[in-house]
A and B are shown apart, each in its own frame.
Chain A
Amino acid sequence: MTVRTAELLMAIMMGAFSIYLMVKSTELPIGWIDEEGPGGGTWPFWLATIMLISCGGILFNWFLKKGPIATSNKVYIEKHVLGDVAAVAGSLIVTVGLFSFIGIYGALPLFIIFYVRFLGKHSWVLTTILAFAIPVVIFYFFEITLKIILPKGITEPLFLPLYKIFL
């Protein structure tokens, strides 16, 4: 896909999102209400309208072939880059997905192993140290010091003794 095609698709998608926002805004009154001023939907409605007009402007420039993006025939995301970015973004999505099941302390070591060992090609020794040390630091800092309880999924019961000691 070229940058020019990506520009078109993005403008259409954002235009559609703007229309959705406009429609959604009308769930609240968008006109003037006596003694209350503008209705609750007014502000987002008109902002979404400007968004739609902006997308129209971007499309207009696209058709006229104006600007460096609208005329660029370069590849939008190069193949070798796409692999790297997809691997990183994909591993993030999987990690967040796992938060709710095996908990943050199950998911983070997996993420670290994947990133450091398989993407970074570092030694197993370093990978193991990081996969163990980072979650421990996070537990100490966030759960004990800041008292922010992080999602644990099915590993929750394992932490009950620790809560008893620290919280």
Chain B
Amino acid sequence: MFEILGLLGQGFLVVFEPQNLLLIVGGCTLGLFIGAMPGLGSVNGVAILLPLTFLVPPTGAIIFLAAIYYGAMYGGAISSIMLGIPGASTAVATTFDGRPLAKQGMADKALIGAAVASFVGGSISVVLFTFFAPPLAHVALVFGAPEEFALMMLAFATFVGLGGDDIFKTLFSICIGLVLSAVGFDIISGEPRLVLWDITGFLHGVNFLVLAIGIYGIGEMLWTVEEHALGGGKSMLSEATVSVARTLAALRELVKTWKATVMGSFLGYFVGILPAAGATPGSLMAYGIAKQISKEPEKFGEGAIEGVCAPEAANNAASTGSMLPMLTLGIPGSPTTAILLGGMVIWGLEPGPRLFVDHSEFVWGLIASLYAANLFTLLINIAFIPVFIKVLKTPFTILAPVIFILCLIGGYAPTQDMHDVWLMIVFGIVGYLMRKLDYPLAPAVLAIVLGPLAEPAMRQSLIISEGSFMIFFERVYAGPIMIAALILLFLPLFKKVYDRIRKPQPQAE
């Protein structure tokens, strides 16, 4: 306990270095801005801006990106409330009551409610994180290759079992991500492998950023072009009156929402830990439960402030929750953390439990920065609500070229090879076409990050066991994890069989 507090204190020393403080404030502001833009969320922001972090040391880089992640979760609420368009999928639930509130002329109340609930959600989850992470990392220290592989299987299986998308398309997405990560050289024999169409550019492999920016940058923007149409996107902005007196009144009224907010925080945190679930389902679930436990459920959908607070608390808590498996086990809990994990590899850090031992300054700096980012985002958010509302008026046709240009340079920067820029465009266009057919793409991004870790883990395990797959089931930790993965993998099948058995009965009666 005291040890943890001591380490956290050291983390704060890292955070209070002027450069890092600046990065947090900058990251939070950028994140708020990105989150507030319709269509762009934390994952897009982190993917597009990751190449910019090559400038600073790893600790500063991850602090910056985590601040963007955090800010974007706050920012998503702004366009949900003001435009009725979710700033990101994680803020969908916020539109249900946020939009009606704005239409009733209480946009400021909804915005402040969202900001405060996000702060509470963030704070509760960061405290949970601080005390959960070190013991989990400690347990994970004994993990060997079989356990690592089993954990990755579990991460993928959650997409199949809990993702809710077409199973075949999910499986396809996972496998294509893993295969793309195998392009380049075979790590054990050192021979060139899968040099597609013998194009030499594939010799250096497919950088995960090329896929991530392709899908979350180019593909997402094409999607937004479609949704808003180029000339359209006419402002449907609600009016918001902001004054100190109104803010204080709104804050006083928030006291009665504490139950919904706290519930949303805990729920969001635990749902956020699961790779396939995360902030979007977490916030939707929190909305549903808030409605159930409310004394006035009929007000939900008409402008209930709890309906804004619960999902906003949940999505911020989930973003912290998704960092738990990333830091302790090396398994990302969300697409955004998958990109952070990929970044860690670029910065020369090996993800996994040894981080807590070998790079304690990095880990605790990040954890402490979450506390700071949480506070800064709240302050920036409340202080600059009018500015963010103005930002929403920026026409899409001015922002879009800027984002596209950042994508192009972001794809070029890591390897400085035009081949990667072309590949990114291909991924963006094909990803857009696949997304229109409901192919889930997040599993592919997770897979391309985990692939280079999963393959050696599997091969080493099989070398230890001399080719027997039983090694994944016989070991103390690997066994239960693998069995849980298999159960999740076959969960949709069980459900189908169960429904088949159940369904004919009423007809027979």
The stretch of B100-108, B359-367, B408-416 that contacts the partner chain: B408-416
Instruction: Provide the main secondary structure of the chain A interface.
Output: helix
Contact B218 A77 (CB under 8 A): no
In the bound complex, residues from chain B placing their C-beta under 8 Å from that of A39 are 189
B473 beta carbon closer than 8 Å to chain A: no
**Contact A10 to B194, CB < 8 A, known contacts A121-B231, A134-B402:** no
Please give the distance in Å from A123's CB to the nearest CB on chain B: 11
Residue A106 at the B interface, CB < 8 A? Answer: no
* In the complex, chain A residues 106-122 whose Cβ is within 8 Å of any chain B Cβ: 108, 111-112, 115-116, 119-122
Partner of B422, one of A3, A38, A96: A96
From residue 47 to 67 of chain B, which have CB atoms closer than 8 A to chain A? 52, 54-55
Assess A119 versus B188: contact at CB under 8 Å? Given A43-B182, A44-B182, A67-B166. Answer: no
Contact assessment for B421 and A96 in the assembled complex, using a CB-CB cutoff below 8 Å: yes
Residues of B within 8 A of A32 (CB): 467
Q: Among the listed A7, A104, A150, which residue makes an inter-chain contact with B437, where contact means beta carbons less than 8 Å apart?
A: A7
Contact A92–B459 (Cβ < 8 Å): no
Q: Are A51 and B179 in contact (CB under 8 A)?
A: yes
Question: What is the 8 Å Cβ interface bit string for chain A, positions 131-142, against chain B (1 contact, 0 not)?
Answer: 000100010011
Q: Report the nearest B residue to A50, measured CB to CB.
A: B175
Q: Cβ of A64 < 8 Å from any Cβ of B?
A: no
Q: Tell me whether A151 and B412 are in contact (CB under 8 A).
A: yes
Per the bound structure, the CA–CA distance linking A145 and B229 in Å amounts to 36
* Nearest CB in chain B: distance from A125 CB, A: 13
Closest Cβ–Cβ distance, residue B143 to chain A (whole Å): 20
Smallest CB gap from A119: residue in B: B230
Query: Are B172's CB and A14's CB within 8 A?
Result: yes
**Chain B residues, CB < 8 A from A68:** 438
Contact call A122/B395, Cβ cutoff below 8 A: yes
Q: Shortest CB–CB separation between residue A53 and chain B, in angstroms?
A: 8
Q: How large is the interface on A (under 10, 10 to 19, 20 to 34, 35 or more residues)?
A: 35 or more
Given A99-B418, A115-B401, A120-B395, also A47-B179 (CB < 8 A): yes
- Give chain B nearest CB distance to A7 CB in angstroms: 5
Q: How far apart sit A45 and B169, CA to CA, in the bound complex (Å)?
A: 18
- Is B191 located at the chain interface by the 8 A CB criterion? yes
Given the known interface contacts A10-B433, A10-B434, A96-B408, the answer about A54 and B222 at a Cβ–Cβ threshold of 8 Å is no
In the assembled complex, the CB of A50 is this many whole angstroms from the nearest CB of chain B, namely 5
Query: Beta-carbon contacts of B485-506 to A below 8 Å, as 1s and 0s?
Result: 0000000000000000000000
A27-85, CB < 8 A from B: 27-28, 32, 36-41, 43-44, 47-48, 50-51, 53-55, 57-58, 61, 67-69, 76-77, 80-81, 84-85
- The CA of A93 and the CA of B429, in the complex, are separated in Å by 11
Decide if B401 touches A112 in the complex (CB within 8 Å): yes
B436 touches A51 (CB 8 A): no
B153 at the interface (CB under 8 A from A): no
| CA of A10 to CA of B413, assembled, Å | 31
Q: Across the two chains, which residue of chain B brings its CB closest to A43?
A: B455
Q: Is the CB of A111 within 8 A of B459?
A: no
Chain B residues with Cβ below 8 Å from A21 are: 179, 194
Residue of chain B at shortest CB distance from A76: B436
Are B462 and A92 interface neighbours, CB within 8 A?
A: no
Q: How far is the CA of A87 from the CA of B230 in the complex (A)?
A: 10
User: Are the C-beta atoms of A37 and B459 separated by less than 8 Å?
Assistant: yes
* Measured CA separation A159–B402 after assembly (Å): 23
Contact B395 A25 (CB under 8 A): no
Secondary structure class of chain B's binding surface, majority of residues = helix
Say whether A160 faces chain B, with CB atoms less than 8 Å apart: no
**Given the complex of chains A and B, what is the CA–CA distance between A77 and B435 in angstroms?**
12
List A contacts of B169 (CB < 8 A): 54, 58
Please, how many angstroms separate the alpha-carbon atoms of A28 and B439 in the complex? 30
Measured CA separation A142–B437 after assembly (Å):
37
Cross-chain contact A84 with B409 (CB below 8 angstroms): no
Closest residue of chain A to B53 (Cβ to Cβ) is: A146
Determine the chain A residues whose CB is within 8 A of the CB of B397 once the complex forms: 115-116, 119-122
Q: Does B345 interact with chain A (Cβ within 8 Å)?
A: no
Pair A111/B405 contact, Cβ less than 8 Å: yes
Q: A48-B179, A50-B175 are in contact. Are A120 and B398 (CB under 8 A)?
A: yes
B196 located at the interface, meaning its Cβ lies under 8 Å from any Cβ of chain A in the complex: yes
B167 at the interface (CB under 8 A from A): yes
Q: Are A92 and B193 in contact (CB under 8 A)?
A: no
Interface residue ranges of B421-436 to A (CB < 8 Å): 421-422, 425, 428-429, 432-434, 436
Q: List the A side residues contacting B179 at CB < 8 Å.
A: 21, 44, 47-48, 51
User: Within 8 Å of chain B (Cβ to Cβ): is A154?
Assistant: no
Q: Give the distance to chain B from A86, nearest Cβ to Cβ, in Å.
A: 10
Task: Report how far A43 CA is from B181 CA in the complex, Å.
Answer: 11
Check: B385 CB closer than 8 A to any chain A CB: no
Q: In the complex, which residues 163-206 of chain B have their Cβ closer than 8 Å to any Cβ of chain A?
A: 166-169, 171-172, 175-176, 178-179, 182, 186, 188-189, 191, 193-194, 196
Contact check, A37 vs B462: say whether CB atoms are below 8 A apart. yes
Nearest chain-B residue to A14 (Cβ)? Answer: B172
Min CB gap B185→A, angstroms: 9
Query: At the interface, yes or no: B404 with Cβ under 8 Å from chain A?
Result: yes
Whether B175 contacts A47 by the Cβ 8 Å rule is yes
Assess the B413–A69 pair: CB atoms within 8 A: no
- A-B contact list, 21 entries, CB within 8 Å: A10-B433, A24-B196, A27-B193, A28-B186, A36-B189, A38-B459, A50-B171, A54-B169, A57-B167, A61-B168, A68-B438, A80-B229, A84-B226, A84-B229, A89-B429, A111-B401, A121-B231, A130-B401, A134-B401, A142-B413, A148-B413
Chain B positions near chain A (C-beta within 8 angstroms): 52, 54-55, 166-169, 171-172, 175-176, 178-179, 182, 186, 188-189, 191, 193-194, 196, 218, 221-222, 225-226, 229-231, 395, 397-398, 400-402, 404-405, 408-409, 412-413, 416, 418, 421-422, 425, 428-429, 432-434, 436-439, 455, 458-460, 462-463, 467
Besides A47-B178, A89-B425, 12 other A-B contacts (C-beta < 8 A): A24-B196, A40-B191, A55-B172, A69-B166, A88-B222, A100-B418, A121-B397, A130-B398, A134-B405, A141-B52, A148-B416, A151-B418
